[in-house]
Structure 1
Amino acid sequence: MTSKNLRGFSAGIIISTGILAGVYYTADTENRSELTDTAVEQYLSEKGELAISKEEYTSLTEAESAAAAPAKEEVEAEPEKEEEKVFQMTLTITQGMSTGEVCDLLQKGNIIKDSKEFLKFLRSNNLEGAVRAESHQVNSNMNFDELAKEITSS
């Protein structure tokens, strides 16, 4: 930075500081109202809300967490009873499709959860260029290795 640039930059800072100081000191502070208890109560009543003390809040949160603890156990028990749904699809890969497009199709068909993770897997195993352009039968029970073997020529 040359000395002329530095002087110009410094002058800009001084001028902008002067403008901000002028606005700050000439602002109308007389019309500002102070926040009072009655103003807060009026605001809360208009919004249909209620103010509570810290003690009431902590007792309510403790009661809520105590009530939620058994509910969490019930929620955790339910997924064990449910069977995981298996999604199946016929994946048709056409000539000229990118590997990223194939991964996106697998994600849209609920075969994989994250297309980027599968793409990283293919890249890390040097399988990105080995994807075959044809129809493949895939399902959501297949892991990344099985999917890669199905859609590649390796």
Structure 2
Amino acid sequence: MTSKNLRGFSAGIILSTGILAGIYYTADTDTESVLTDESVSQYLSEKGELAISKEEYNTLKTQTAAVPATATEKPKTEPVKEKEEEKVFQMTLTITQGMSTGEVCDLLKKGNIIKDSGEFLKFLRSNNLEGAVRAESHQVNSKMSFEEIAEEITSS
């Protein structure tokens, strides 16, 4: 960059700064809205809200504090639910050549065989089984542990 170009660039920056400063200081900024009781009550009615005085608030606060906590709680009458049998999901997992281990984990998650594909992928990686997954069909179900699923999909 030559010195003439640099001077021209600097002059442009100074000129644009001057124009922006002139606009900033001459702009009409007296458009402050005045907050009135009418505008507040209109806003509250539009939002479906209610305004109360400090005195009303304090009386409500003391009344609420005076009521014992046990009186405000509803008695629990819900019957105790017996533990439902967990539904067992089964699927035939078909692994094709070229599928990544992450894709296999996602298929297991979609089939409700595992709850977290990331955890299963970490398990495979930590046991050096990520590259041992075999491209074929495997029978798996949701009762199987990570170890059992890994043994199924890595054995031939």
> With structure 1 as the length reference, what TM-score do the two structures score?
0.66
Overall identity of the aligned pairs, in %: 75
Q: Post-superposition shift, 1:49?
A: 3.0
Q: Please name the residue that 2:85 is paired with.
A: 83
- Specify the structure having the higher radius of gyration (Cα): 2
Moved more, 19-28 or 36-45: 19-28
One-letter identity of the residue aligned with 1:117: E
Match of 1:150 in 2: 152
Tell me the amino acid that sits aligned with residue 44 of structure 1: L
Distance 1:86 1:68, change over 3 A: farther
CA distance in 1 between counterparts of 2:154 and 2:74 reads 48
Superposed CA deviations along residues 72-120 of structure 1, whole A, max 9, x for unmatched, are x959x54x53332221111111222111111110011011122122111
Consecutive unaligned residues of structure 1, counting only runs of 5 or more, are: 1-7
Change (3 A) 1:20 1:147: farther
Question: What's the counterpart of residue 47 of structure 2?
Answer: 47
CA distance in 2, matches of 1:144, 1:19: 69
Residues 14-93 of structure 1 mapped to structure 2, 5 A cutoff: 24-51=24-51, 55=57, 77-78=80-81, 81-93=83-95
Give the letter aligned to residue 40 of structure 2: V
Which has a greater percent of helix?
1
Alignment deviations for residues 40-63 of structure 1 (CA, whole Å, 9 cap, x no partner): 21012123333457858x96x999
Q: For 1:125-140, list aligned pairs within 5 A.
A: 125-140=127-142
Helix, strand or coil: the match of 2:91? strand
Q: 1:22 to 1:118 in 2, by over 3 A?
A: farther
Give aligned pairs, total: 140
Q: CA RMSD in A?
A: 4.1
Give the aligned partner of residue 6 of structure 2.
none
3-state SS, counterpart of residue 81 of structure 1:
coil
Judged with a 3 Å threshold, the aligned counterparts in structure 2 of structure 1 residues 97 and 83 are, in CA distance, closer, same or farther, namely: same
Letter in 2 for 1:34: V
TM-score w.r.t. length of structure 2: 0.65
SS in 2 for 1:123: helix
Which residue identity lines up with residue 106 of structure 2 in the other structure? D
1:16 deviates by 8.8
